Homo-oligomer: A and B are copies of this chain.
Amino acid sequence: MLCRKCKTKAVINLPQHNRAFCSPCFTDFLHTQVIRGIKAQNMFTKNERILVAVSGGKDSLTLWQILLHLGYRVDALYVDLGIGSYSEKSREKVNRFTHDVASRYESKLHIHTVEEEEGAGIKDLANLLHRPTCSTCGTMKRYQFNRVAVQNDYDVMATGHNLDDEASRLLGNVLRWQTEYLDKQTPHLPASVEGFARKVKPLYRLTEREIATYAVINKIDYQVEECPMAKGSKMLLYKEMLNRLETESPGTKQRFYWGFLEKQATARQQTTEIVDQDRECLHPCATCGQPTSSEICSYCKMMAKAKTRV
């Protein structure tokens, strides 16, 4: 198997693109895919300040590295959820990447430690609230990422969601025809109202396998373990299914998610609509000021409830 570009020995075969690449050409290919995604979705410019949400896993560290390499102005935020040794190890990986790579670009790391700031780790909070850990964690991360981005005047917040993440989430939303979620499942969510950061997903064109290969080739030292709380989740089941279909028909995930995006774009002037809908139903939370559709936002409700139960 030879590299499509330079004809040396290839290290990865991409049946969905009908191509194979050697390490340097593969790295170039992924960079091009990211640039193409940023442009196609009009995500951000070189003058804007970007905050990347990092977990210590392959996707978010790869995103940080690629954006730095491409010359974007980017810092990162790590939210330490306090999930025992998993969080400790993840934090170590993030710190190491910051020291070894990001510091060379004068890129900064923000850290928010849930146990210190909220008084308990995510598992204890979930137990107090009688809520599943993953949904408690979702509320926490969405809230803190947005807060840090807005308070520090970042223009845009970027997450490491990849094609596998988006395709499996789309499958879940389609199986239940969750129209509201389907409407908002886009790699670029505009900052519709004061208090919301713009949110983008620059890796939406890359598969998990491509990102893992990139991380290995480019010596990114990442947390290999999955979060222990995610075991048995629906998302993992959907991913497994899509991987099975991908093996039978290379390109399935891409056709499914990109096809959805095209359909969405054709169907309407999407950005305008999301902005209009949000402006109609969102206003500042009475407690913290972040936009919410209720009087008190879900994070503040969650934390108030947790306090009454301590």
Q: Which residues of A contact B (CB under 8 A)?
A: 174-177, 179, 234, 237, 241, 244-245, 248-249, 252, 255-256, 259-260, 262-263
Once A237-B248, A241-B244 are accepted as A-B contacts, the answer to whether A174 and B174 lie under 8 Å apart by CB is yes
Residues of chain B lying within 8 A (CB to CB) of residue A176: 255-256, 259
Instruction: State whether A252 touches B175 (Cβ < 8 A).
Output: yes
A185 to B260, CA, bound (A): 18
Q: A179-B263, A237-B244 are in contact. List 13 more A-B contacts (CB 8 A).
A: A174-B174, A174-B256, A175-B252, A175-B255, A176-B255, A176-B256, A176-B259, A177-B255, A177-B260, A177-B262, A177-B263, A237-B245, A241-B244
Mostly, the A contact residues are helix
CB distance from A166 to the nearest CB of B (A): 14
CB distance from A164 to the nearest CB of B (A): 14
- 7 A-B residue pairs with Cβ-Cβ distance under 8 Å, sorted by A, are A175-B252, A175-B255, A177-B262, A237-B244, A237-B245, A237-B248, A241-B241
CB distance from A254 to the nearest CB of B (A): 11
CB distance from A249 to the nearest CB of B (A): 8
Residues of chain B lying within 8 A (CB to CB) of residue A260: 177
- Smallest Cβ-Cβ distance to A178: which chain B residue: B259
- Smallest Cβ-Cβ distance to A174: which chain B residue: B174
Residues of chain B lying within 8 A (CB to CB) of residue A234: 248-249
A297 to B255, CA, bound (A): 30
CB distance from A151 to the nearest CB of B (A): 40
Residues of chain B lying within 8 A (CB to CB) of residue A245: 175, 237, 241
- Smallest Cβ-Cβ distance to A232: which chain B residue: B248
CB distance from A172 to the nearest CB of B (A): 10
